[in-house]
Amino acid sequence: MTDGVATMASTAWHVIESGKPSASLASQHCNAVPAGIADPVSALIDAQGPNRLTWRLRMENAFTVEVVDIAFDLRWEFGARYQGGGAYIPNCYLYVPQCSVLWGFDVNIGIHVHNPTNAGTETAPIARLPLTISGSVSSLVNTHSVQWDFILFGNGQYHVG
């Protein structure tokens, strides 16, 4: 097999900038693949999925008017094998299918990919990919921090929080 699990793609990018989905969002992705392989796209086979996690960020002002409504859709392929074994994540990406931010409010959110690790054994590796999606919602009056933490696994399972 290999000597571990690595990411061969992006490790951080903007999701929401100035209240709108980032222009680069569609071209950004991450992965958790065998360390040391030159071309993980062609070396991995039998990927499944994608699995998906969806959630919304909603905020109201003092008059109960919804001022922020953003939908997130996190997807990852899983179960990809390398040289007949393992369970890797060849592709993980985030969509923002809905983004509404009213005038006077600003939203900035980014994603940070932490170092992937092996949650399995040396002979039966299972990729473990921790992600943090965080940022802020601001108005003239105050700023609120937001954060979501996920751990995605190469066998298709996940952990939130």
Give 147-156 pLDDT, tens digit per residue: 999 999 999 9
Residue 43's H or E segment, with its range, is: helix 40-43
Pair 81, 107: CB distance under 8 Å: no
Is residue 137 packed enough to be buried (19+ CB in 10 Å), middle (13-18) or exposed (0-12)?
Answer: buried
CA angle 53, 58, 64 (to 5 degrees): 155
Query: Rounded to whole angstroms, how far apart are CA atoms 69 and 138?
Result: 14
* pLDDT above 50 for 40: yes
**pTM of this structure:** 0.91
Query: Rounded to whole angstroms, how far apart are CA atoms 51 and 156?
Result: 7
**pLDDT mean across residues, the chain:** 92
Give 93-142 pLDDT, tens digit per residue: 999 999 999 999 999 999 999 999 999 998 999 999 999 999 999 999 99
* pLDDT above 50 for 87: yes
